[in-house]
Every structure is written in C-alpha cells, then in structure tokens.
Chains A and B, each alone.
Chain A
Amino acid sequence: MCHQTVSLISRYIEEHGVPTVVIGAAKDIVEHCGVPRFLFSDFPLGNPAGRPHDVASQHATLKAALALLDAAPGPMTTMQNPIRWSDDHSWKEDISNVEKMSPEEIARRKAEFDKTKEIAKQKREDAGV
C-alpha cells in the first residue's frame, strides 16, 4: 500500500508542477498506478534505496534516481536499478505467498488478521475517525 500511496502523491504533485522520482521495490503496484519517473529496485520490501550498511549501493541508487529526475524523456519512465540484491533470488519466493504456506500457517495468519482488524477498528473508534 505504501507504493500506491506514494504513486498517487507523486502524480498529484507532478500535476501541480513539482517533478518527482519514486524509488520503489513493488514494480507492479507503481506501474499499475502510473508515475512520471520510477527507479525500480528489485529488492525486498523495506530497502529500496540500497542494501543496508552498503554505502556504495545506496550511493549508486540515489545517483540513478537523480539521473532519472534529470533525464527521463517523458511520463511513466521506469529504469531498473542495476544492483542485484543477492546472487540468490530465493528471497522472492516467500513474501505473502500462500502457495508456500501450510494450512496451519494460513489458519494462524487468519486468526492474527482478525485480531488486528478488531484492534484497528477499536483504535479508529477511539480516535473518532
């Protein structure tokens, strides 16, 4: 959802005259929304701006984003960050992937989700929203 939130804000402020560049890891969500400029980091959710404690990868990522700000020829320009998260791509298999979960895991998550939803509802009511 973060990617959708940012994509919508990007479109809005760009429409009002401020150039933007999105650095994100969820390619489908950003491109489905459509943004002016998008640097796609094929990294796990949470670290789109480079590998943690790896200044060189962060520097290269920001450099690519700035280049995109400067030189994107038109709207919906996506550039892929050339940095690989890791030689092993198995990290892509697990996130939110029900095909990889056992029935027990799914049942546990359902119970947890129901509980979180109830707490959130209570919080919203308490906050008057």
Chain B
Amino acid sequence: MPDNPYGFAPPDDRPIPYMHRIKTYYQTLGYGKPYEWAHYVDSPFTPLKKPLSECKVGLIGTSEVAVRFDPETETDPIVEDDFRGIYAIPADMPTERFYSRTASFDRNATHLDDVNAYYPVDRLREAVADGRVAGMPNRFYGAYNNYSQRKVLTQEAPKVLEYCRADGIDALIMVPV
C-alpha cells in the first residue's frame, strides 16, 4: 500500500487561517481584547441586470495604488478628498505609472512589482477590448485598509456607491490585498 493511496493533499495545504493567526499574534504581543471581525450569516444579492457583454464594469482595490508623476512639471493625478478615504485614479494613465504604497502584504512570499497581480487594470482593459464586457468608467477606485468598521460602513461604502452611480457602472470588481 503506498503512503497516500487516495491522493489527499497535505493537511497543512489549506487556506491560511488568518483570523486565528492574527488573534494569536496580537495576544502573544500583549494586546488585550481580540479584534471583533465583521460577521453576518447572510448577504445581500443583486443579479446582473443584463449580459456581461453589455455591462460597464468598475474596479476598486485596497493596494493604495498611486500614480508616479514629476512634481516639477505635473500635479498629482490623484485627488484625495478625505484623509485616507475613497479616491479615484484616471483610467487612461499608462499602467507603468501605477505603483502600490501599501506595506500590508506577504513580504516573505511575494512582492508588489506587478500592478496587474493586485489591481488588474490591463486585464480589465483587455476584457473591454475583446468585448467580454461593454466598457469601464474613466476612473479606477481605491480604498485604504481600515480597522474602523463604523467608518467603512458610514463613510467609505456610501462614497463607493456614489462613485458607482456617478459613473453609471453595472458591476464592480473588488480586490483587497
């Protein structure tokens, strides 16, 4: 009989239990009350109203994407209305000018050198070009990592909805890092 006749995966090759690890981490570091993660037992659901090929699709990420610019000759293409609030990036910027400012990622396992691995702007442009989706708005959205559930639900979420409505989008792709 071979060791693993049914081809089971190794027991530790499973989705990383982040909530458990983070809790244990902070407890070990001596920070008292564990964080209470947002939890619901159900979820809202809105079906697409038309075929994807007729939909305008937006993109939001939390990778703190920014645009390189020359401060001598240009102004920052990103205008942030609020301190670490929801912001927008002109969608016609060349991808090579995008970069991430976040430090919240797995530095041992990977890097943030390729924007399309966390903010798939080129892949979305291709989907528009080959007609899988009808279009995208003329700006991409960004959000910051936020510990305050209240701030997310009362300020940031309504702001994203405002962007979606102003841009007339039919669906939103959301990429946390």
Q: Is the CB of B175 within 8 A of A95?
A: no
Q: Is the CB of A110 within 8 A of B18?
A: no
Size range of the interface on B? Answer: 35 or more
Name the one of B37, B116, B156 contacting A9, with C-beta atoms under 8 angstroms.
B156
Q: A19-B46, A49-B116, A89-B12 are in contact. Are A24 and B145 (CB under 8 A)?
A: no
Name the one of B51, B106, B153 contacting A46, with C-beta atoms under 8 angstroms.
B106
Give per-residue flags for A19-39: 1 if the beta carbon is below 8 A from chain B beta carbons, else 0.
111111111111011111000
Count of A-B contacts judged by CB separation below 8 Å: 262
Which chain A residues (46-76) contact chain B, with CB distance < 8 Å? 46-53, 55, 58-59, 61-63, 65-66, 69-70, 72, 74-76
Give per-residue flags for B63-101: 1 if the beta carbon is below 8 A from chain A beta carbons, else 0.
100000000000000000001000000000000000000
State A25–B50 Cα separation when bound (angstroms). 29
Q: Is the CB of A94 within 8 A of B108?
A: yes
Q: Which of chain A's residues have a CB closer than 8 A to the CB of B31?
A: 113
Q: Is the CB of B105 within 8 A of A36?
A: no
Chain A, residue nearest B160 (CB):
A9
Q: Is the CB of B132 within 8 A of A66?
A: yes
Q: Which of chain A's residues have a CB closer than 8 A to the CB of B18?
A: 3, 26, 28-29, 96
Any chain A CB within 8 A of the CB of B4? no
State A44–B26 Cα separation when bound (angstroms). 20
Q: Is the CB of B127 within 8 A of A62?
A: yes
Q: Which of chain B's residues have a CB closer than 8 A to the CB of A92?
A: 12-14, 16
State A8–B148 Cα separation when bound (angstroms). 11
Would you list the 3 A-B pairs with minimal beta carbon distance, nearest first? A46-B105, A12-B157, A44-B109
Residues of chain B touching chain A, judged by Cβ–Cβ distance below 8 Å, are 10, 12-22, 24-25, 28-31, 37-48, 51-52, 57, 60, 62-63, 83, 104-106, 108-114, 116-120, 122-124, 126-127, 132-133, 143-147, 149, 152-153, 156-158, 160-161, 164, 169-177
Residues of chain A touching chain B, judged by Cβ–Cβ distance below 8 Å, are 1-30, 32-36, 40, 42-53, 55, 58-59, 61-63, 65-66, 69-70, 72, 74-76, 89, 91-99, 106, 109-110, 113, 127, 129
